């Protein structure tokens, strides 16, 4: 078996049929498995999956493998459940697909070609466009700030300006987990998704660990998919992002980088607290400190394992930025003050002091 597709669903009633229809219509499913990890949805998701499964084999030649969970496992653990099934089936590659995607004709072969021709690539994504404005970008690779903020780079930029060359395979700080092709032999070395994260930053954390082993993450310009992306930042989302940012920093950052970043991290934390107070999610932010403290022994244990695996070929520090450039974070204090100051600070730390 060449490839396993993995879809984690949670309240996917609006999304799952268009995804599976475009997967079937626009993808060669020969020598492939389609695995759906269904996370205890109580809408119509399970009924729709049952209906799809009844006819899937007749239409594709292989069964739709639906793994029903008795609880919401979150995205990270849900992906790991799917990855375990992919390994059991003997697939060397796994393609993670968000439930709210629609796939375009010809989207898959360029991704597989990039993986087959470049054994140092462990993670690859298509160009992901906005479903309601396909001329605009959702992400062609995500950016990673040295203070641990991960975000969609060039969000809502014209696609043709960001990726004008369809033959390009471009290295990116980390590829989006919304549509992510993974080399399972690389995950055997780096480990799977960190289930502690539950939701958000799990793709970033995994690819930092892959880069620490010397692997690459890329975007493949010739591959396109559409995402029904919600760019909103609810209080719940912000709390998960903040908690998981600190898990990532404490586990994945080497000590010299943590020490070098400490002044900026203090300033960023004060700014986030002010943002949380203004946005009404300060109680949730404060609660994360307790969650982090309770999880700290396990995080530090994982940190020792992660840092021990770090290779001389590690390249994760080469792709960090000092600027936050996501839509919605364009307050003058960010664009006119924080971004210039932190960009110069990180350039000095990385290039002059040699901190990676």
Q: What is the CATH number of the domain that holds 163?
A: 3.90.550.10
What pLDDT, on a 0 to 100 scale, did the predictor assign at position 233?
A: 84
What confidence score (pLDDT) does residue 283 get?
97
Whether the pLDDT of residue 330 is over 80: the answer is: no
- What is the CA 66 to chain-centroid distance, rounded? 23
Cα–Cα distance measured from residue 73 to residue 230, given in angstroms and rounded to the nearest whole number: 21
**Do residue 147 and residue 213 come from a single domain?**
yes
pLDDT of residue 356: 82
Q: What does the pLDDT read at residue 161?
A: 96
232 in a structural domain: no
Which of 192, 227, 262 lies at the terminal end of a domain, its last residue?
Answer: 227
- Cβ distance 288 to 280 under 8 Å? no
Residue 233 lies in a domain: no
Confidence grade of residue 335 (pLDDT, cut at 50, 70, 90): confident
Q: Is the confidence at residue 30, as pLDDT, over 80?
A: yes
Same domain, 223 and 257: no
What pLDDT does residue 337 have? 85
Contact 309, 265 (CB under 8 A): no
Q: Are residues 212 and 299 in the same domain?
A: no
pTM of the entire predicted model: 0.95
The H-or-E segment that residue 152 falls in is strand 150-152
Whether the per-residue pLDDT at 94 is higher than 90: the answer is yes
Q: Taking residues 120-145, what's their average pLDDT?
A: 97
Give me the domain span that covers residue 296. Answer: 239-352
- Residue range 240-266: mean pLDDT, rounded: 96
Sequence-distant (6+) residues with CB within 8 A of 182 are 83, 93, 94, 95, 96, 122, 123
Within 10 angstroms of residue 190's Cβ, the number of other Cβ atoms is: 18
Element (H, E) at 183: strand 179-183
- State the pLDDT at residue 325: 87
User: Last residue of some domain: 202, 227, 252?
Assistant: 227
- Beta-carbon count within 10 A of 311 CB: 12
Q: Taking a C-beta distance cutoff of 8 angstroms, is the pair 197, 247 a contact?
A: yes
């Amino acid at each position: 078996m060449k490839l396993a597709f993995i879809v984690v669903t949670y309240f996917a009633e609006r999304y799952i049929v268009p995804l599976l229809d475009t997967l079937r219509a626009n993808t060669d499913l020969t020598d492939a498995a389609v695995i759906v990890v269904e996370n205890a949805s109580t809408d119509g998701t399970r009924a729709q999956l049952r209906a799809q499964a009844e006819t899937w084999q007749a239409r594709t030649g292989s069964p739709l493998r639906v793994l029903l969970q008795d609880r919401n496992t979150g995205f990270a653990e849900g992906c790991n459940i799917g990855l375990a099934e992919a390994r059991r089936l003997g697939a060397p590659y796994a393609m993670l697909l968000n439930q709210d995607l629609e796939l375009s004709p010809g989207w898959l072969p360029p991704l597989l070609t990039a993986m087959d021709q470049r054994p140092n690539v462990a993670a690859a994504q298509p160009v992901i466009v906005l479903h309601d404005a396909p001329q605009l970008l959702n992400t062609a690779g995500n950016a990673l700030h040295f203070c641990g903020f991960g975000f969609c780079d060039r969000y809502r930029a014209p696609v043709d300006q960001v990726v004008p060359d369809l033959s390009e395979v471009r290295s990116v700080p980390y590829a989006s987990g919304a549509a992510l092709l993974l080399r399972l032999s690389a995950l055997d070395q780096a480990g799977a998704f960190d289930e502690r994260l539950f939701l958000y930053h799990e793709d970033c954390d995994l690819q930092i660990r892959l880069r620490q082993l010397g692997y690459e993450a890329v975007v493949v310009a010739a591959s396109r998919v559409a995402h029904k992306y919600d760019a909103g930042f609810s209080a719940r989302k912000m709390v998960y992002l903040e908690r998981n940012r600190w898990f990532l920093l404490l586990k994945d950052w080497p000590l010299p980088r943590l020490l070098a970043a400490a002044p900026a991290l203090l300033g960023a934390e004060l700014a986030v607290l002010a943002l949380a107070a203004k946005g009404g999610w300060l109680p949730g932010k404060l609660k994360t400190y307790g969650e982090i403290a309770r999880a700290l022994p396990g995080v530090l244990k994982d940190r020792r394992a992660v840092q021990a695996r770090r290779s001389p070929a590690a390249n994760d520090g080469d792709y960090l930025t000092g600027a936050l450039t996501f839509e919605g974070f364009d307050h003058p204090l960010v664009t006119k003050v924080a971004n210039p100051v932190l960009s110069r600070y990180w350039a000095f730390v990385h290039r002059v002091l040699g901190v990676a």
